[in-house]
């Protein structure tokens, strides 16, 4: 697989790059960003994956996430993929919560989405293989994952399904139980069909109920988030983790909303959380 370098810039002693490639999983051109801290030749560094939310691309967190300083300090590579396939001929919807920009990190089985919307395969298989091939400084044996909102849903579900791969899982304002909220019911129904048993692999609470386990989780949630009561419902994750014996650190942050002002405020904590587990 080949990649195109869109841009590189020096930052915090390391390199912030943006790259693109032709994806076999989605059948489209995909763009992602990678921050690599300063390192010695031949040295391997751990990875923190970041999955973005509805309407976002790789650029939102790359420009506003304030992760480079903490990642440089902890010497952790930060990778931010796009949220969906895009381009001419790719199915879309007029609403912001379906279609391009709203891939929900699932492999769609329903038309018109099934041809291109294969974000689960892209994130879990294709992009990691591409990273391993083109970034020799990555330690693929030391991976962590986090994300925001829809991307928080992605981080939790991918982390739970691949607990042997990810040493650390965290999230900012995640959709914890998409099967039980409007955003998720619309997206999962549209992408996966109306058989709700097929949704359980794409629902963090359902995965935990069905036996998926990780040692611990960190979730930050603003209590002034406009989507808190209807779409996010962190109390459902807290209940599931308590029953399953998963150590959940759920921090309700007073006065914070759903924006990158919130994410950037607590990004350093999530990098530190990941770094502590990546280097055990």
**Count of structural domains within the chain:** 1
What is the DSSP code string of 40-67?
Answer: -TT--EEEEEEE--TT--HHHHHHHS--
* pLDDT band at residue 227 using 50, 70 and 90 as cut-offs: very high
The pTM is what? 0.98
Backbone phi, then psi, for 132, in 5-degree steps?
Answer: -60, -35
Q: Tell whether the model's pLDDT for residue 260 goes beyond 80.
A: yes
**Residue 121, domain CATH:** 3.40.50.1820
CA 77/CA 171 separation, integer angstroms = 17
Does the annotation mark 22 as catalytic?
no
* pLDDT (tens digit per residue) in 154-164: 999 999 999 99
Nearest in space to 219 (alpha carbons), one of 264, 186, 266, 184 = 266
CA 266/CA 87 separation, integer angstroms = 33
Does the annotation mark 223 as catalytic?
no
Catalytic residue among 58, 74, 258, 270: 258
* pLDDT (tens digit per residue) in 115-138: 999 999 999 999 999 999 999 999
Catalytic residue among 84, 149, 168, 170: 149
Q: Mean pLDDT across the stretch 70-91?
A: 97
The percentage of residues in the chain with a pLDDT greater than 90, rounded to a whole number, is 99
Query: Which tokens is 65 given?
Result: 């996430």
DSSP label of 95:
S
CA 62/CA 273 separation, integer angstroms = 19
Residue 75 lies in domain: 4-278
- Report the pLDDT value the prediction gives residue 57, as an integer from 0 to 100: 98
Catalytic residue among 107, 203, 220, 225: 225
CA 267/CA 208 separation, integer angstroms = 25
* pLDDT (tens digit per residue) in 170-213: 999 999 999 999 999 999 999 999 999 999 999 999 999 999 99
- Report the pLDDT value the prediction gives residue 280, as an integer from 0 to 100: 76
**Do 251 and 219 meet the contact criterion of CB atoms below 8 Å apart?**
yes
What is the DSSP code string of 182-211?
Answer: HHHHHHHHHHH-S-GGGGGGG-HHHHHHTT
- Report the pLDDT value the prediction gives residue 263, as an integer from 0 to 100: 98
Does the annotation mark 23 as catalytic?
no
Alpha-helical segments (H) within the chain: 58-64, 68-74, 119-121, 127-134, 150-161, 182-192, 204-209, 234-244, 260-278
């Amino acid at each position: 697989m080949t990649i195109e370098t869109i841009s590189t810039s020096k930052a915090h002693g390391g390199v912030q790059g943006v790259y693109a490639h032709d994806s076999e999983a989605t059948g489209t051109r995909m763009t992602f960003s990678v921050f690599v801290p300063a390192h010695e030749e031949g040295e391997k560094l751990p990875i923190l994956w970041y999955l973005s939310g509805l309407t976002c691309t790789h650029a939102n967190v790359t420009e506003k996430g304030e992760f480079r300083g903490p990642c440089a300090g902890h010497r952790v590579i930060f990778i931010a993929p796009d949220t969906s396939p895009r381009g001419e001929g790719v199915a879309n919807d007029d609403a912001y919560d379906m279609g391009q920009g709203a891939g929900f990190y699932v492999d769609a089985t329903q038309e018109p989405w099934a041809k291109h919307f294969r974000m689960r395969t892209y994130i879990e298989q294709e992009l990691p293989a591409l990273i391993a091939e083109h970034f020799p400084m990555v330690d693929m044996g030391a991976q962590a994952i986090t994300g925001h909102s829809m991307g928080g849903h992605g981080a939790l579900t991918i982390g739970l399904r691949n607990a042997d791969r990810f040493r650390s899982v965290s999230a900012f304002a995640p959709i914890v139980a998409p099967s039980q909220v409007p955003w998720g019911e619309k997206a999962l129904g549209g992408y996966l069909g109306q058989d709700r048993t097929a949704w359980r692999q794409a629902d963090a609470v359902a995965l935990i109920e069905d036996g998926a386990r990780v040692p611990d989780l960190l979730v930050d949630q603003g209590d002034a988030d406009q989507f808190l009561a209807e779409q996010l419902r962190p109390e459902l994750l807290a209940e599931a983790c308590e029953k399953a014996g998963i150590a959940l650190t759920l921090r309700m942050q007073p006065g914070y909303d759903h924006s990158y002002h919130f994410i950037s405020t607590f990004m350093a904590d999530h990098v530190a959380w990941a770094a502590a587990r990546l280097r055990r």
